[in-house]
Amino acid sequence: MAKSSAKENENCQARLLYQYPKPTTKDLFTDTFGFITKTKEAESSMHSVFKLKHRWERMLNDGRTECMDGMVFKGVPVFLKNRVWTYVLRGKNKHKEVGWEEYEKLRDMHSGFEYQIHVDIQRTFRNHILFYDAFGEGQCKLFRVLVAYANYNPHIGYCQGMASFTGLILMYFDELEVFNVLINILSTLNALFDTQLSLLPTLMSVQKEVFILVIPEVYYLLKNENVDLCLFVYSWYLTLFSRFDIKLSLRIWDIFIFYGPASLLAVSCAILSFYVRRLGEMQGECLVAFLSSLDSIALADSDVDCIIEKVKGVMEEIDLDDINNVLELY
């Protein structure tokens, strides 16, 4: 009883911290994605970006969804993420949307996960302008969305890692929109984030088959070094690849939103394939350490393009519909 009371008190105290947003720090330099920099970012040519933006807008205005198949691999401009992702999600089967009144009820209810959510928020994208200030507007919105989701889906509640990808969505969507994106992308991934992480064994089994099919040289290299895939792949999935270099994470999410969870298996293959030469030069603890650090490596634009091209290639070799159906069984 005392332990339960202490936990309840922790959750209540955590909720109070996010009740009133603290003032926002002003006059900070940020890059294109909103991450804080020491100096003002140099202006670069936007010709190719505006050309890409025009093509996406034309497809959206004309309702030409069939043309998006190829375009998604070129990436969605940051200022169109909201519109394109929303358009794609609303076109999927079983799409759901919650109104503001219902959302308010969910966010104002006690979930029992407040303290855990608080701890994770304080280490989520702290170098991004939206989450830079402790208990600022961005962190308060993230807290409310995660509490609301925990109440909306008690089967999952809250799972570590959810703060990361929810924070990524919040960079481009308003609070209620974030919640609606969340309930739709997680509708087929409930078992990945439940208390037993029920989907992980099946997911890893299918991932192993895809590795053997597409990148056997990497798979057997890791097997010969007795490297368990779970050591690094688990965290990729539980954060939905949101902790990689932001340039790569956003391109991955364009594909994930469009093609569903099965595309993430292709992403894992593509990332390992990109680093195959360096992996072959390592052994033992050095190899494990490098694999564990892949989501923290800064990437050039050309590196990101190369990885995405590999993702496209892998997706052409595997049956996405079949894999999505297997994942949805859970």
pLDDT digits (tens, 9 = 90+) for 245-279: 999 999 999 999 999 999 999 999 999 999 999 99
Model confidence at 40: pLDDT above 90: no
Model confidence at 329: pLDDT above 70: no
Model confidence at 197: pLDDT above 70: yes
The CATH class that applies to domain 199-328 reads mainly alpha
pLDDT attached to residue 14? 94
Model confidence at 307: pLDDT above 60: yes
pLDDT attached to residue 151? 98
Q: Where in the chain is the domain with CATH 1.10.8.270?
A: 48-188
Least confident of 53-57, 94-98, 250-254, 313-317: 53-57
Structure tokens at 60: 């959206």
pLDDT attached to residue 47? 61
Residues 327 and 189: their CA atoms lie apart, in Å, by 8
The residue type found at 192 is L
pLDDT category at 186 given cuts 50, 70, 90 is very high
Q: Where in the chain is the domain with CATH 1.10.472.80?
A: 199-328
pLDDT category at 316 given cuts 50, 70, 90 is very high
pLDDT category at 55 given cuts 50, 70, 90 is confident
Residues 168 and 317: their CA atoms lie apart, in Å, by 29
Three-class SS state of 242 = coil
The 10 Å CB-count burial string (b at 16+, else e) for 220-258 is ebbeeeebebeebbbbbbbbbbbbbbbbbbbbbbbbbbb
pLDDT attached to residue 26? 83
Model confidence at 1: pLDDT above 70: no
pLDDT category at 5 given cuts 50, 70, 90 is confident
pLDDT attached to residue 2? 56
Percent of the chain residues past pLDDT 90, beyond the cut: 73
Which residue do the tokens 């198949």 mark? 69
Instruction: Tell me the CA distances in angstroms from 176 to 25, 102, 107, one per residue in order.
Output: 24, 10, 10
Per-residue pLDDT, averaged over 314-321, amounts to 92
Domain 48-188 sits in CATH at 1.10.8.270
pLDDT attached to residue 208? 93
Residue 285 CB-half CA count within 13 A: 0
pLDDT attached to residue 94? 81
